[in-house]
Structure 1
Amino acid sequence: MDVVIYHNPGCGTSRNALALIRHAGIEPHVIDYQTCPPSRELLAQLIERMGMNVRDVLRVKGTPYAELGLGDPKLTDAELLDAMIAHPILINRPIVVTDRGVKLCRPSDMVLDLLPELPMADFVKDDGEICLRDSEAADRDAGMVAALTAEGLPTDDLTEPGRRFFAYRTLTGEVVGYAGWELYGADVFLRSLAVLPGWRGKGVGKAIVARIARRAFDEGARSAWLMTTSATPFFEAIGFKRVERADAPEAILETRQAKGLCPSSAVVLKKAIRL
């Protein structure tokens, strides 16, 4: 398989994606886009092939984004592309191209979507987080129901419309946890997050949240919401902020969990989904 990665060697996510490609037995064509940026036409083509908006591929952190005023919603795609070509550091990374498609691989294990589905040894990222695959789970998946029940999490509404659930496995196939969502336009309600006991304390929960948030982003979500009675410190540690219940969107407040399955004492948390 031919693989091209637009890479920033100073970026941990980009380094992990590159290492995963090599872990799969593939030596990619590595392009340091800061020193050899794509042409304006090619960049526009890559973004189109990813099915993303130009602004979605615009990097904010560690770039001249603010000083250039790129947060102005009146700027056109053409103007944003001009800025990205003039300042390649504004191009988010890594962008990976294979015969299976083009993807901005954030988190880095999203690159697995573009690689052959071959047996692989487990892979640990350079921050100690294990790489995970995700797959859709049935709403009454026995393993998921057992995991949620063991954690005292609601299961009464699993079969209702509008829910999607995912199982998370290591590269060698061991199930480590589950999570689900209810999507309401630009808001996604994250739910049914359970990490199996043997995998707690190993960064799996953080990895699952990052993975499911990216899947929701690709479906149009830009804000992630959740409710919890016991895991507030964990979610705050990964960037969620407490929100007054009355300030949550009506669609979130109308969920079965908000209206009764979660106790009124549950904390409401929110996080913007950014790549």
Structure 2
Amino acid sequence: MNRWKIDLLLELFREAGAVALRFQENPEVGIKSDHTAVTRADREIEALFAARLDRPGNGSFLIGEESIEQRDEEYIKSALEGECFVLDPVDGTAPYAAGVPLWGISVGFMRNGVLEEGAICLPPRDEAFLSCRGTIFHARGVTGGNPVVEPFIPHKAVYTPAAPICVAQSAARNWEFRFPNQMFVWSACVAVYGALLRGGVYGSIQHCKLWDLAGGLPLLKLAGFEARYEDGRELGCDVVAGGNFLLDPGPGRWRQKGFVVIAPDRQGVETIWSQVNVRNPAKS
């Protein structure tokens, strides 16, 4: 059964974008147990996706940021071993709640523990990027319900000292950076991934949870980007067997085990890693 359908995803993105935009003036911000923000839009968008995609009886599961803590271990095991959508209903909740247009919706499709497809929607730009069977598509006019969908050719930035590099919050707080580039700390993977695909930024230093990258990593891999740890190991789309995520119950569950640099090619990754000093790694 083909569960990954562009038409369905674009309809969900349209509805989800409308929800997010409706509540942005009064986001009703709460604080979760991990001290991160959550809004009414986060919860309502997750419920919207769950109503269409969460069908355990039919072999379709959902790992969502706002509902995963309510799932039992049997459900999680089935999701990781079967067919599963991985959702971040509002990636970039902090900028969303602050009224800064660096947020979006991220959804990936995982089969047998491997991310096979991904999609990100950026309502402030009224666009989405979606993978499907080896092709990246770009959709414009998503909020209107009749988007223009076309194959997309990524535009990779060329390295110059002026090319911006995005940096994860924890790295920005603790590391020493020697590169001359402008440094962005955006708090939203989808904004970074969209900018990478458009060539607006050159690279990214990333340390996030599974749902943050599930929509974007398959797109970047399909576009030919490299994502590697400091020791050269690759961050691939094999979530379960790849050993890149903390999947057992406990603190930090679902998080990447370490930082990676994403860049257009291996040389770019190594260039960025060579210009940082990883300080206080225990705090990162």
Q: TM-score, normalised by structure 1?
A: 0.31
Q: TM-score, normalised by structure 2?
A: 0.30
